[in-house]
A and B are shown apart, each in its own frame.
Chain A
Amino acid sequence: MALPIYADPLERIWYYSYRVICALIFIFLIAPILIIMPLSFNVEPYFTFTPEMLRLDPDGYSMRWYDNLLTFGMAAPDALRDGSWWADAWANAKWIQAAKNSIIVGFFSTIVATVLGTIAAMGLSRPEMPFRKLIMAILISPMIVPIIITATGLFFFYSDIGLSGTYFGLVMAHATLGIPFVIITVTATMMGFDRSLIRAAQNMGAGPVTTFFKVQLPLITPGVVSGALFAFVTSFDEVVVVLFVGSHEQQTIPRQMWNGIREQISPSILAVATILVIFSICLLTVVELLRRRSERLRGVTPA
């Protein structure tokens, strides 16, 4: 959008002020996420930049809050850091426990959501699918219905059937929350899928299973993987359902953060937040690469 030559002075002023406004909005979007990174290295237990930090004095920075993440909850945090210290950390540290729980629940709920979601998306993307709109509306509703309502419903339901406080119940609940994302991303990929390829495969004698694994799946894999990543992130970031149906032992990272923020917010939370931001940068990169790959596979070139 270059400035046209016929622009009058007022338009010139607007052209540049518009860019400045946009820059400010981008800062609003990104600054809160970036600003916690340096703050998590603060020596002092404050949430603001100390004069030492501003002078870039190395004494103003430390890893103490990251260290705190490891030692919190350990049996003997002050022991010599040898093999048994690390074993202690692996077994007892609260944040490591939380990470383990988050990964277990996230992994299994992603599998459930991705498998069921992909199969359903294949049905939904067929032109002959009956009641397509209604079914789509039902399948996407877990994303639209406020999480507190879902959590309340699950709380009653799980206490009645004895699933509250179980990993199975938690995995099922998180899978439900992740399914809309899988449906949306996979149907979007399927829409660009050339259905004559299926007919060509069948013409050459491939059965439905061979057609799926040899023709369809390789082309839709990028969409399925980004759907799976969305589902994983949804589970990894979910706190309300865990609070309502999880047992006391089922501390996940978001739940541990939630407790930390509610009770006494310490810079350890910022250290966790920084790690999570780096994690989401990695995820975003993967999704972006997958999107490009998908476009390349389907012959769409960026203009």
Chain B
Amino acid sequence: MAATDTQPDDPQVLRTVDGVPLKTALAVASRRARIRAFFLVVPLLVFILLTFAVPIGQMLSRSFTDDKFSANMVELGKWFDANGKAAPDEAAYAALAADLKTASEEKTAGNIGTRINYELPGTRSLFTSAARKAKDLEPPFKEAILALDPQWARADLWAAMRSASAAATLNFYQAALDRQIGADGNFEAAPENVQIYVKLFIRTFVMSVVITGLCLLLGFPVAHLLAVLPLRHASLLMILVLLPFWTSLLVRTTSWMVLLQSQGVVNDLLVALGVITTDGRLEMMYNQTGTIIAMTHILLPFMILPLYSVMKTIPPSYARAARSLGATSWTTFRRIYLPQTVSGIGAGGILCFILAVGYYITPALVGGADGTLISNQIAFHMQKSLNWSLAAALAAMLLAAVLILYWAYDRLVGIDNMKLG
């Protein structure tokens, strides 16, 4: 622009009526159009930020903090700041006694105990009972507190209190990876019998892979049939795919509960056909089998629809050309047809997998003990154990996995190509 301004009479530069160079005018106009387009999206973007991004961001920040201990144990916090990893001395016990006294006055001992209990199960009552007797404690505090309960001398208890004395913590991620505070104050692998989360993550991924694989196995032939049939027949059969898609999730889960019960329709049918005896009725519900069957049924349309939309665009002449050049039908399928469906397989597969990894309702209802997934554990910590920070840490890890898959989906398929029905 600067160059054009210095040579106002350059006949090479095209100008508008007002004398503005055409290039500049075009840039201004297109910038204005871009801003106009962007302003149409702004209201929704703000809405999604407020009702979706902010809540999730806030939840993520919660996974790094818990001030139930640090806010209520001020004196002990000061002692930890001053003395670091030193062994607790009389001053430390005095600070503990003072904090317990405050806690009993403000009735926060339960919260404090709960926070330490996350790290060292079974220690909550230590805090509540000590707080009840805190006002009678006399110096020397070390003897007095140890007289209440010798457990107060435990090194791992002091290590847990030290790590809880700061609100910001990675402890919940450590816990979500089955690690705990050891006697020396460092993290170590939790004992075999309490390691659950890593196993649960692995189980979630394995079951999602199995469900996605089954969806592909069942979805591929159906999608192919729908793609090659004349449209009139195909759209009739399409209803059979779309009706489950539109039916309430709870309805579909309920039907599977009804069908798979030990006194249910499937078992009755198998008994009537003589496949199994009345005593040998199959246990298909409240275990992994139930979850896998029901979730495969629920996610199958998400596999069929993307596969179908890709298969519909494959010209049948390629396969005919291969046959006429002497390929067998198997070779034609393997070398000609299958490679052309890969993008559909990718789209449907990733979509099914993303949805399966985060599934909650169906595993909660038909999963029983060994058919539940990571989502159910998050719900358990939200509603039953009330260890919200651990729930948030688990949710953050699940979210990270889902976002990576989402990014892969975008790279492979493109979000704008997502279609529904």
A197 lies within 8 A of chain B by Cβ: no
A81 lies within 8 A of chain B by Cβ: no
A215 lies within 8 A of chain B by Cβ: no
- Indicate if the CB atoms of A26 and B237 lie closer than 8 Å: yes
How many angstroms between the C-alpha atoms of A132 and B45 in the bound complex? 12
A46 lies within 8 A of chain B by Cβ: yes
A152 contact from B59, B218, B246, Cβ within 8 A: B59
Q: Which of A56-64, A84-92, A199-207, A280-288 contacts B (4 or more CB under 8 A)?
A: A280-288
Name the interface residues of A1-52: CB closer than 8 Å to any CB of B. 1, 4, 6, 11, 14, 18-19, 21-22, 25-26, 28-30, 32-33, 35-36, 39, 46-49
B249 contact from A119, A129, A237, Cβ within 8 A: A237
Name the interface residues of A100-139: CB closer than 8 Å to any CB of B. 112, 116-117, 119-120, 122-124, 126, 128-130, 132-133, 135-139
CB contacts (< 8 Å) of A150 on chain B: these are 52, 55-56
Could you say which of A29, A179, A258, A303 has the most chain B C-beta atoms within 10 Å of its C-beta? A29
- Indicate if the CB atoms of A152 and B416 lie closer than 8 Å: no
CB contacts (< 8 Å) of B154 on chain A: these are none
**With known contacts A36-B255, A276-B251, A149–B246 Cβ distance under 8 A:** no
Could you say which of B47, B55, B241, B301 has the most chain A C-beta atoms within 10 Å of its C-beta? B55
A76 lies within 8 A of chain B by Cβ: no
**With known contacts A254-B250, A280-B246, A36–B258 Cβ distance under 8 A:** yes
How many angstroms between the C-alpha atoms of A233 and B246 in the bound complex? 8
Q: Mark B150-164, 1 if CB is under 8 A from A, else 0.
A: 000000000000000
**With known contacts A11-B329, A273-B251, A146–B47 Cβ distance under 8 A:** no
- Indicate if the CB atoms of B37 and A126 lie closer than 8 Å: yes
- Indicate if the CB atoms of A123 and B39 lie closer than 8 Å: yes
- Indicate if the CB atoms of A152 and B392 lie closer than 8 Å: yes
How many angstroms between the C-alpha atoms of A204 and B40 in the bound complex? 24
B170 lies within 8 A of chain A by Cβ: no
B247 lies within 8 A of chain A by Cβ: yes
**With known contacts A145-B402, A270-B254, A156–B259 Cβ distance under 8 A:** no
Closest CB in chain A relative to B316 CB, distance in Å: 8
How many angstroms between the C-alpha atoms of A124 and B418 in the bound complex? 14
Closest CB in chain A relative to B296 CB, distance in Å: 9
A26 contact from B56, B240, B268, Cβ within 8 A: B240
**With known contacts A48-B264, A176-B47, A155–B382 Cβ distance under 8 A:** yes
Q: Is the interface of B mostly helix, strand, loop or mixed?
A: helix
Closest CB in chain B relative to A34 CB, distance in Å: 9
- Indicate if the CB atoms of B247 and A33 lie closer than 8 Å: yes
Closest CB in chain B relative to A22 CB, distance in Å: 5
Closest to B376 in A: A148
B257 lies within 8 A of chain A by Cβ: yes
How many angstroms between the C-alpha atoms of A221 and B246 in the bound complex? 20
Closest to B47 in A: A116
Number of interface residues of B (CB under 8 A): 89
- Indicate if the CB atoms of B38 and A130 lie closer than 8 Å: yes
Q: Mark B208-246, 1 if CB is under 8 A from A, else 0.
A: 000000000010011001001101000101011111101
- Indicate if the CB atoms of B41 and A129 lie closer than 8 Å: yes
B421 lies within 8 A of chain A by Cβ: yes
- Indicate if the CB atoms of A32 and B416 lie closer than 8 Å: no
**With known contacts A47-B264, A269-B254, A270-B254, A149–B51 Cβ distance under 8 A:** no
Q: Which residues of A contact B (CB under 8 A)?
A: 1, 4, 6, 11, 14, 18-19, 21-22, 25-26, 28-30, 32-33, 35-36, 39, 46-49, 112, 116-117, 119-120, 122-124, 126, 128-130, 132-133, 135-142, 144-150, 152-158, 160, 172-173, 175-176, 179, 181, 184-185, 187-188, 230, 233, 236-237, 239-240, 244, 254, 257-258, 261-262, 265, 269-270, 273, 276-277, 280-281, 283-284, 287-288, 291, 302-303
Given A35-B259, A240-B360, 14 other A-B residues pairs in contact with their CB atoms under 8 A: A32-B252, A33-B255, A36-B258, A139-B48, A149-B399, A152-B392, A153-B55, A153-B59, A155-B382, A156-B58, A176-B51, A280-B247, A280-B248, A284-B246
Q: Which A-B residue pairs are the 3 nearest by beta carbons?
A: A146-B358, A123-B40, A153-B55
Could you show 30 A-B contacts with beta carbons less than 8 Å apart? A19-B225, A22-B222, A25-B221, A39-B265, A48-B265, A117-B44, A119-B43, A128-B30, A128-B33, A129-B34, A130-B38, A133-B410, A133-B416, A135-B45, A142-B52, A144-B402, A146-B375, A146-B402, A149-B399, A152-B391, A153-B52, A153-B58, A156-B55, A172-B51, A184-B418, A237-B250, A257-B254, A270-B254, A277-B247, A280-B246
